[in-house]
């Protein structure tokens, strides 16, 4: 497999986001879904509406999300939409909680853990998807970027429970009594991310991948008590390959000489976060071998 192209800018502005998208050379067709985390109420690190808003407006995109499996302000559609409104997203675009009207199963091919994936039924409304991730740490996954955003992020509330338990249960209330071996959870995220990529490809639809690497906390935007950033912003990466894009993010975290970078590295390693990359590659989701193209 030839090297994937990963575009990079050190800037984390709305102009830089538009510029790096244009470098991909892709014209997204039809109805475009922009998959971002709307951020839990109380979280501070989610991608801010004024940062992504001009990009979303340029594409005439719809912000797409699904409800959470854990208790919080985004576990039901009414409260989730209020959080999205409070966080300013509705100033720029419609927000579609894709599992509000229901969910559907899509195939997982060659999975060790998951027999299927469960996604919001409204995923079918979109002809193209921008997987617009926030690169940061994560208490359960070690780190979150494009692969997590396409697995846990696109899964319905029940689908999230199914992934988190490596296929043991679809019931959110049974999630924490069915925590699997950590590696099984990490691999389940890769399997579900691959199922979404396959589903889009089989239906002649396209996904592009962008990760904004700012507010680099060891905690996820799903954490209402998200801790402060541990390192300076790294910039933005974009690719047509989610494995390469996540690998580039991880490589930058590990290349940093900042003292705080060690805290993020420790979080990643403790949760076996990096293991998602070779497993996703083995599933055919992408390659870890990439060429970094600086657009500054």
pLDDT digits (tens, 9 = 90+) for 134-186: 999 999 999 999 999 999 999 999 999 999 999 999 999 999 999 999 999 99
- Give the burial class of 141: count Cβ atoms within 10 A of its Cβ; 0-12 exposed, 13-18 middle, 19 or more buried: buried
Q: What is the 3-state secondary structure (H, E, C) of the chain?
A: CCCEEEEEECCCCHHHHHHHHHHCCCCCCCCEEEECCCCCCCCCCCCCHHHHHHHHHHCCCEEEECCCCCCCCCCCHHHHHHHHHHCCHHHCCCEEECCCCCEEEEECCCCCCCCEEEEEHHHHHCCEEEEEEECEEECCCEEECHHHHHHCCCECHHHHHHHHCCCCCCCHHHHHHCCCCHHHHHHHHHHHHHHHHHHHHHCCCEEEEEEEECCECCCCCCCCCCCCCCECCCEEEEECCHHHHHHHHHHHHHHCCCCCHHHHHHHHHHCCHHHHHHHHHHCCCCCCCEEEEECC
pLDDT digits (tens, 9 = 90+) for 46-74: 999 999 999 999 999 999 999 988 777 78
Distance CA 42, CA 141 (A): 20
Between 214 and 225, whose confidence is greater? 214
CA distances from 166 to 82, 108, 136 (A): 31, 13, 23
pLDDT digits (tens, 9 = 90+) for 79-120: 899 999 999 999 999 999 999 999 999 999 999 999 999 999
Residue 221's pLDDT band (cuts 50, 70, 90): confident
Residue 117: per-residue pLDDT:
98
Asked if 130 contacts 183 with a C-beta cutoff of 8 angstroms, the reply is no
Distance CA 248, CA 272 (A): 17
Q: What domains sit in the chain, N to C, each tagged with a CATH number?
A: 4-130+137-294 (3.40.50)
Please state, rounded to an integer, the average pLDDT across all residues of the chain.
Answer: 96
Residue 245 clears pLDDT 80, i.e. is over it: yes
Residue 144: per-residue pLDDT:
97
**Is the pTM value of this prediction over 0.95?**
yes
Residue 224: per-residue pLDDT:
81
Residues in CB range of 169: below 8 A, 6 or more apart: 161, 162, 175, 178
Residue 78: per-residue pLDDT:
87
Rg (CA), the chain: 17
Q: Closest by alpha carbon to 214, among 50, 64, 74, 103?
A: 50
Q: Closest by alpha carbon to 233, among 12, 9, 7?
A: 12
Residue 223: per-residue pLDDT:
80
């Amino acid at each position: 497999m030839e090297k994937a192209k990963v575009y990079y800018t050190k800037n984390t502005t709305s102009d830089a986001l538009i510029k790096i998208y244009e470098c991909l050379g892709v014209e997204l067709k039809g109805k475009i879904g922009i998959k971002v985390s709307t951020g839990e109420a109380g979280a501070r690190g989610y991608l801010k509406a004024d940062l992504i808003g001009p990009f979303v407006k340029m594409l005439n995109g719809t912000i797409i999300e699904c409800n959470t499996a854990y208790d919080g302000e985004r576990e039901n559609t009414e409260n989730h939409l209020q959080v999205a409104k409070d966080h300013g997203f509705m100033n720029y675009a419609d927000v579609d909680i894709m599992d509000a009207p229901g969910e559907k199963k899509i195939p997982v091919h060659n999975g060790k853990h998951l027999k299927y994936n469960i996604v919001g039924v409204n995923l079918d409304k979109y002809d193209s998807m921008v997987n617009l991730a926030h690169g940061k740490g994560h208490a359960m996954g070690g780190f979150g970027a494009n692969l997590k955003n396409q697995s846990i992020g696109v899964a319905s509330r029940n689908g999230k429970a199914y992934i988190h338990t490596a296929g043991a249960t679809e019931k959110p209330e049974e999630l924490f009594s069915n925590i699997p071996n950590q590696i099984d959870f990490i691999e389940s995220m890769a399997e579900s991310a691959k199922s979404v990529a396959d589903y889009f490809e089989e239906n002649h639809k396209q996904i592009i991948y962008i990760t904004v690497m700012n507010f680099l906390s060891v905690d996820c935007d799903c954490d209402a008590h998200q801790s402060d950033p541990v390192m300076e912003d790294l910039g933005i990466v974009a690719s047509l390959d989610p494995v390469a894009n996540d690998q580039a993010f991880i490589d930058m975290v590990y290349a940093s000489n900042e003292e705080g970078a060690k805290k993020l590295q420790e979080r990643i390693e403790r949760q076996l976060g990096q293991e998602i990359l070779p497993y996703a590659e083995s599933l055919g989701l992408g390659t870890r071998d990439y060429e970094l193209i600086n657009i500054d």
